[in-house]
Structures are given as structure tokens and as C-alpha cells.
Amino acid sequence: MSDSIKGLHHITAVSGPPQENFNFYRNKLGLRFTKKTINFDDPFTYHLYYGNHNATPGSTITFFPWQNVPNGSPSTGEATIVDYAIPGGSADYWYDRLKELNIKINRQKDGFGFETISFHDNDGMKIRLVADSKSEKNETKGYGTVPDEHAVRGFFGTTLSLADTGRTAELLKEMGWSLTGEADGAARFGSAPENNLGRFVDLKKEPELNGRFGRGSIHHIAFRVPDDGAQQNWREKIKKMGFSITPVKNRDYFRSIYFREAGGVLFEIATDIPGFDVDEPFESLGEELKLPAWFEQHREEIERRLPELNTD
């Protein structure tokens, strides 16, 4: 029996222009900009990474900024909310900050007993900040003008909107997650990663979301495994469950396998290793454009064709 899969590794979404994306996630949400690279399958598009200061698994959101793609809207069969963990006592700070930034927010105590603040990013993706004292042990730094003590720690979890939650629930159970409660129309599945980040996936029966994929849509969610051996075990196991799963892909900062679960959401299983300091020093993560080795010979053309992005 393989070890269970514990926690989310990263979430990947589509955004509009890269500068606006940077201004929102680094300057307003106060995340660290941890990697400036390209879409390995489409080298003239950026792939931008933001996480907590230590770029811990369970904190990274990544974006493909597709400048000319129209705004998306939530669809059945997608992840539709990104839940971020803030310290237990930080809801007042974030309420005031987001108000000052003229971001339309909705603050409420949710049915699970957590204080939450919901809003949309500048491409319409739904974000929820969840006051979660269990996330506090992840020491981090605030970027933009966010003080360290109130900085986002990483993910709390995500929400999947599904036509039917049954088979996705079964899969999560196979992966070692368990039902921790039901509230606000969602069944919450939990896992126990050592850092408490990305430990929940909420399943919501929402069969009639007729949105379209575009800016602000979540492309996939990735779960964590410690290393390649654990990933190989899970690849076999998921294949045996009848899913079609990709070979291992080297994403430079982690290795990945992908499959579409029964509800339509693209799941990835990514390794914690080697991490984001594999090709640049930890101190200067995100400062230079990093390319996978096989694209280095095209660096000049890539740099010329990528849109302007000021990350100071």
C-alpha cells in the first residue's frame, strides 16, 4: 500500500497580461514571485510562479498569461475557487487592506467555522482567504506592503465544481483523503500534510455552470508526493483504477504526471523535489528569466518575443 497523498502541491491557472497578474499576486496579495520561466510547451508564453517566502509545496500558484484570450467563467468540471490560508488573527488586516485596494469583498464565517474573505482576482478567478491558525507555523515574509505577521502562508485548499461528486469522492478516499464535514453545499475532504498547507479539497455539486475556459480559469490542481518513487507507485495505482495517466514529465522544479478524474478536473501529481532553487539561488528566486536547458539556444528570440514584465 502506497503512502497516502498529502496536500496540494500547486495550482495552475490562466491569466491576462503578465504585468497585471504580477501586480495582483505579488503587490496586492503579498506573495513572493518565485520563478519567471516559460510555458515548456509554448515558449513564447510566460509561466509565472508565486508562493510563500520559502516556496514551500502547498503554496505555489502558477499562471500562463494568455494576453489575447477572453475572460473565462466557472464551469462544471473545474476547480473554481483557490483557498489561501492566512494566520488565525489576520482577517481584520486583510479586510481593511482589500477594502483600501478597492477590491470587492465578502467576509463571512463559513459553515465549517472558519472566518473567510472572498473576492476575485483581476481576471475574475475566485479567491478565498481563510483564517487558519494551523497554517501559522509556516514562517514567511510579506511582499508588496504586507507585513510578515499577516502574510499568506500558502493554500488552505480548493473547491471543485462537479456534476456529480460521487466518483471524485471515491478517488480522493483512494488517495488517502477523508470526509471531514459538509457545509455550505460542499463536502470537505481533508489530508494531513506536515505543513498543513493545501490540506482540503471541497467538492460541490454544481451541474449547471456553463462557463467557458479563459482568463481567470484554473487549468489544473496538483497534489504532492515526496519523490519519484512515490510518484511511480501512484502512477501504477491510478492506472489500475482505470485512468489514463501521462508518462512522467520533467518540469525542472518538480516531476509531474497528469490524469483527468471522473468529474472532469485535470489532476496532477508532482514531486516535492528538486524545488525552485535548482536553477537559481534561493535569495534571488524570480529575478531572472529561467529557461529549460533545451530552450537556452533560443533565449534571444524568446526574450525578444515575451511581453514586457517589470518585477522590481
Binding positions for Zn ion, rule: CB under 5 A: 12, 222, 268
Closest among 30, 17, 16, 50 to 101, alpha carbons compared: 30
* Distance from C-alpha of 257 to C-alpha of 83, rounded to nearest angstrom: 23
Q: Compute the least distance from the CB of residue 48 to Zn ion, in Å.
A: 13
To Zn ion, the closest distance from the beta carbon of 221 in angstroms equals: 8
* Residues 253 and 286 sit within 8 Å (Cβ to Cβ): no
> Pick from 170, 244, 243, 174: which is nearest to 1 by CA?
174
Given the complex with Zn ion, which of 114 and 253 has the nearer CB atom?
A: 253
Residue 266 CB, nearest approach to Zn ion (Å)? 9
* Min CB(270)–Zn ion separation in Å: 6
For 174-210, give the DSSP string: HTT-EEEEEETTEEEEE---TT-TT-EEEEEE-TT-B
Q: Of 123 and 268, which CB lies nearer to Zn ion in the complex structure?
A: 268
215 versus 251: smaller Cβ distance to Zn ion: 251
- If the CB atoms of residues 12 and 56 are measured against Zn ion, the closer one turns out to be 12
Backbone φ, ψ for residue 310 (5° rounding): -100, 115
Adjacent-strand bridge partners of 125? none
Q: Measured from the CB atom, is 87 or 154 closer to Zn ion? A: 154
The CB-of-183 to Zn ion minimum distance in angstroms stands at 29
Other Cβ atoms less than 10 A from the Cβ of 120: the count is 13
